[in-house]
Amino acid sequence: MSQPSSLRVLCVTGIFPPDIGGPAVYLPQVCEALSARGHRVTVVTLGQRLTCDPHRHPFRVIRLSRGMLRPRRWWRTIATLVRLGQEADVFFVHGLALEAVLANAVVNRPLVHKVVGDLAWERARTLGWVDESFEDFQERRHSPRVEALKALRAWWTRRAVRVIVPSAFLSRWVVHWGVPKERLVVIHNVAHVPVVLPAVEVPLPRSTRIAVVGRLVPWKHVDGVLRVVAQVEEASLVIVGDGPERGVLGDLAASLGIGDRVYFAGPRSHAETLALMAACDLFVLNSSYEGLPHVVLEAMCIGRPVIATAAGGTPELVRHEENGLLVASGDSGSLKDAIARLVASPTERRRLGEGGRRAASWFSLPMLIDRTERVLYDAVSERARR
């Protein structure tokens, strides 16, 4: 069977604009580029209600109500994917993986899965079932319910003909789940920053402003950044994002006596988030786990010096003393020293920011689209040969 010149691609994701988060930034860019190359793209995602949004994007977007009771939403999602999957050449899955795999059991199309983290670990941490690092979670045995969650995650990932991961670090662990190496493709993320950013207000005293961006969850360790800012009098902090730790972090800022030096900006649009980062002097990521942090690339693109923990795939982006500073995860002393150093030195901030901008230019959107398109074609061709 000959390879089609264009593909009918069914993208499946749990979040999509106006939602915020890595997939909500990455997917519209990829889908728009694939559409421009002549592929017919349909996105199925969750939203506030069941709608079809045909005009905002140059591809079809179908939103399933996020407000439905979970069993009903699962069945509605599966039924929708079965219906649309019959018209597709390939499933391109970024979320709702269980529903996509179950639907594909009916329509039997090649499935490409992009894995940006371990949903089993994130869910177990969020629910309080475990309290351990990403790496320890992969290798240790756990309670039956956690092991069942890990087995389910491995099962749906192994159903893919190809698995795209954003870092070599993450690829090693996906192999640990039982996915054959030959199915894995590492495609690093890229960042796109609009030429013009919206005006934003940062209600903080004029000081050296530090940006922190992301979900407010335990493994991001924003509390550690707050404790360091409390020790560096010349620093203030802008926190963009929301999550279960928001109340705890607000209480901590107050108890540390730095409430007037911390601005909780809340969840913002992608453009507003970038504008807030640009209004700051440096960017800090204190996470103990990252697949490949998209937000670090964004900070580099806008020339903000990066201080980040050497966790997960982050060292694949940040080269210590060249385009940022790396510190060991959990080393609060090194984090304080790095922040104090950049707060005290505009020259160092400028040098590392320029290095970051150069490094970010290596990660181009055309290259990402080329490689992604090739993976989709390969998945279709491999299935046709079987």
Write the pLDDT tens digit of every residue in 334-372: 999 999 999 999 999 999 999 999 999 888 888 899 999
Residue 199, domain member (yes or no): no
Question: Is the same domain home to 230 and 168?
Answer: no
Residue 135, domain member (yes or no): yes
Residue 82, domain member (yes or no): yes
What pLDDT score does 386 carry? Answer: 63
Question: Is the same domain home to 113 and 147?
Answer: yes
Residue 78, domain member (yes or no): yes
Query: Is residue 212 scored above 60 in pLDDT?
Result: yes
Burial bucket for residue 138 (CB in 10 Å: 0-12, 13-18, 19+): middle
Domain that holds residue 347: 208-360
Position of tokens 């922190």? Answer: 212
Residue 88, domain member (yes or no): yes
Question: Is the same domain home to 52 and 94?
Answer: yes
| Tens-place pLDDT, residues 104-148 | 999 999 999 999 999 999 999 989 999 999 999 999 999 999 999
Query: Is residue 202 scored above 80 in pLDDT?
Result: yes
Residues 9 and 83: beta-carbon distance below 8 Å: no
Residue 196, domain member (yes or no): no
Question: Is the same domain home to 121 and 38?
Answer: yes
- Rounded Cα distance between 104 and 98, Å, is 10
Question: Is the same domain home to 250 and 335?
Answer: yes
Residue 201, domain member (yes or no): no
Question: Is the same domain home to 154 and 303?
Answer: no
Question: Is the same domain home to 346 and 257?
Answer: yes
Domain CATH code at residue 56: 3.40.50.2000
* pTM attached to this predicted model: 0.87
- Is the model more confident about 78 or about 384? 78
Mean pLDDT value across residues 154-168: 96
Question: Is the same domain home to 161 and 186?
Answer: yes
Domain count, the chain: 2
Question: Is the same domain home to 179 and 279?
Answer: no
Question: Is the same domain home to 98 and 179?
Answer: yes
What pLDDT score does 97 carry? Answer: 95
> What is the percent of the chain where pLDDT is above 70?
95
Mean pLDDT value across residues 260-270: 93
| 142-151, 200-209, 228-237, 339-348: the lowest-pLDDT one | 200-209
Residue 150, domain member (yes or no): yes
Q: How confident is the model at residue 66 (pLDDT cuts 50, 70, 90)?
A: confident
Q: How confident is the model at residue 51 (pLDDT cuts 50, 70, 90)?
A: low
What pLDDT score does 40 carry? Answer: 96
Question: Is the same domain home to 313 and 378?
Answer: no
Question: Is the same domain home to 177 and 88?
Answer: yes
